[in-house]
Amino acid sequence: MAVRSYPVTVSSPPLSLSVVLATFNEKDNLGPMLEQLKALLGQRYQLELVVVDDDSPDGTSELARQLARQDPRIHLIRRVGRSGLSSAIREGLLAACGEVAVVMDADGQHEPEAVQRAVDRLLAGDLDLVMGSRFHPEASIAGLSASRQKGSERANQLARFSLPAYAQLSDYMSGFFALRLERCNSAIRSVDVSGFKFLYELLAVSKGQLKVEEIPLNFRSRQAGDSKLDNAVVWDWLVSLVHTATFRLLPRRAVSFGMVGVSGMVVHVGLYALLRSAGVGFFGTQVVAVITAACSNYLINNSLTFRSRRLRGRSLVIGLLKFLLVSSLGMAANVGVSTVVFASMQGGPIAMIAVASGILVDFIWKYAASSRFVWNVPY
């Protein structure tokens, strides 16, 4: 007797989606955000929620661990001894197991509903990356103050100039984006995690190779806690611009060190002019100006360039002594070269060239020596 066969319908498995949330002191925001994401996405995707916390003192990691015990879809990466938004995002993306990953803030300013819209656009357009833009014509930016909105607009104008391959975009500073992990993995690994914004750095290292579009983002007010924007973040942005504009030929930290050096030049030249007008001899003026500029550079670099290894208290004083010690050869060369150039040109207004030549001589030595022996980081 013939056996009747029936067609078997095999449904494709749901898309695996990872949502990466980088946190620092977001205990009050994290729980509600995770619940909203699970409610919106849990039935449609094979969902993974990756919380990357920088050892928050407010108990964010403890809360995430407790929630992860209750729901295996939640994964906690607790980072001790390392910090920073860009590095947290990269670490979360490299640990994510989904085919598609979404990066968003945990503070409630990015609406969870935007995840679905971003993923839908990513898949429908066969794109590599979809950004949520606060400056899209259909976007809402209720969560930005007027001053921060103007600042973000200026930052985006500069970013567009530095990234001509992505000139069609409107919000390079966005903290919300979806991407295909396999296609973007190489660029993710290449991102300099000292950068101001992970997305800007990702676009810069991709060199125009990614297919990118934007969706409007409804940027809401923070639900609880304080904004992480500070002077160091603004400095990082300026360093990112210069780093990109110089074709990323130098290490990013060297760019920051050099920019701090420019401020030292201002101190140096200003003090030189002041002391010379007071009748102090050229050699004495140079010695005082060199040492004062070095101290200024040390303090600024400690706060900005090397802030992940920032020295405090007694270590700050010891670090200054070490900085002056390892820089002494450069400072001696500075004074010596500038004095020789000054003497050969027989003074006059051309003496400023002598000052500049001395400053240039010791830059490389100061950067290499201080990186290794003061803050103990790679060149």
Nearest CA to 361 among 290, 299, 311, 304?
Answer: 290
Do 88 and 180 lie in one domain? The reply is: yes
31 within a domain of the structure (yes/no)? yes
Picking from 232, 265, 285, the residue at the C-terminal end of a domain is 232
Q: How many domains does the chain have?
A: 2
Q: Percentage of the chain surpassing pLDDT 90?
A: 51
pLDDT score, position 225: 56
pLDDT score, position 99: 97
Do 211 and 333 lie in one domain? The reply is: no
Do 94 and 188 lie in one domain? The reply is: yes
CATH number of the domain residue 227 falls in:
3.90.550.10
8 within a domain of the structure (yes/no)? no
pLDDT score, position 363: 76
Do 53 and 160 lie in one domain? The reply is: yes
Question: DSSP H helical segments within the chain, as ranges?
Answer: 27-41, 60-70, 85-95, 113-124, 146-162, 181-190, 198-206, 231-245, 252-277, 282-303, 313-326, 328-345, 351-361, 363-373
Helices 27-41 and 60-70: crossing angle in degrees, nearest 10, is 30
Is 174 strand, coil or helix? coil
pLDDT score, position 16: 97
- Tell me which residue range forms the domain holding 130: 16-232
**pLDDT > 60? residue 228:** no
pLDDT digits over 141-162, tens only?
A: 776 667 677 777 888 888 898 8
Contact (Cβ atoms closer than 8 angstroms) between residue 170 and residue 136? yes
What is the average pLDDT across 51-64? 96
Do 46 and 186 lie in one domain? The reply is: yes
What sign results for the dihedral spanned by CA atoms 37, 40, 42, 45?
negative
pLDDT score, position 365: 77
**pLDDT > 70? residue 346:** no
Mean model confidence pLDDT for the chain: 86
Residue 8 or 266, more confident: 266
Contact (Cβ atoms closer than 8 angstroms) between residue 290 and residue 335? yes
Picking from 171, 201, 232, the residue at the C-terminal end of a domain is 232
pLDDT score, position 282: 87
Do 160 and 28 lie in one domain? The reply is: yes
Do 287 and 191 lie in one domain? The reply is: no
pLDDT score, position 321: 93
What is the average pLDDT across 364-378? 85
Nearest CA to 369 among 324, 334, 305, 313?
Answer: 324
124 within a domain of the structure (yes/no)? yes
Do 81 and 176 lie in one domain? The reply is: yes
Given the structure tokens 């290794």, which residue do they identify?
372
Q: 91-95, 96-100, 250-254: which range is least confident on average?
A: 250-254
What is the average pLDDT across 73-101? 93
270 within a domain of the structure (yes/no)? yes
What is the average pLDDT across 60-67? 97
The torsion angles phi and psi of 179, rounded to 5 degrees, stand at -150, 160
pLDDT score, position 348: 57
**pLDDT > 60? residue 373:** yes
pLDDT digits over 278-321, tens only?
A: 989 888 898 899 889 889 999 999 998 888 788 999 999 999 99
Do 180 and 267 lie in one domain? The reply is: no
pLDDT digits over 111-137, tens only?
A: 999 999 999 999 999 999 999 999 998
The torsion angles phi and psi of 8, rounded to 5 degrees, stand at -105, 125
82 within a domain of the structure (yes/no)? yes
Q: 38-42, 269-273, 345-349, 354-358: which range is least confident on average?
A: 345-349
Q: Tell me the C-alpha distance between 198 and 170, whole Å.
A: 16
Q: What's the predicted TM-score (pTM) here?
A: 0.77
Q: Which residues, in sequence order, are CB contacts of 329 under 8 Å at separation 6+?
A: 362, 365
pLDDT score, position 264: 87
Do 196 and 326 lie in one domain? The reply is: no
Do 113 and 167 lie in one domain? The reply is: yes
Radius of gyration of the chain (CA): 26
Nearest CA to 363 among 259, 271, 278, 272?
Answer: 259
Do 218 and 324 lie in one domain? The reply is: no
pLDDT score, position 359: 67
138 within a domain of the structure (yes/no)? yes
pLDDT score, position 43: 92
4 within a domain of the structure (yes/no)? no
**Which two three-digit tokens encode residue 252?**
């990013």
DSSP state of 226: -
Contact (Cβ atoms closer than 8 angstroms) between residue 304 and residue 237? no
**pLDDT > 80? residue 361:** no
Q: Tell me the C-alpha to C-alpha distance, in Å, between residue 252 and each of 256, 264, 309, 340.
A: 6, 19, 16, 33
- Total length of the chain: 379
User: DSSP per residue over 248-304, as a string?
Assistant: T-S-HHHHHHHHHHHHHHHHHHHHHHHHHHTT--HHHHHHHHHHHHHHHHHHHHHHT
pLDDT digits over 175-214, tens only?
A: 999 999 999 999 999 998 776 689 999 999 999 999 999 9
pLDDT score, position 342: 72
244 within a domain of the structure (yes/no)? no
Contact (Cβ atoms closer than 8 angstroms) between residue 115 and residue 38? no
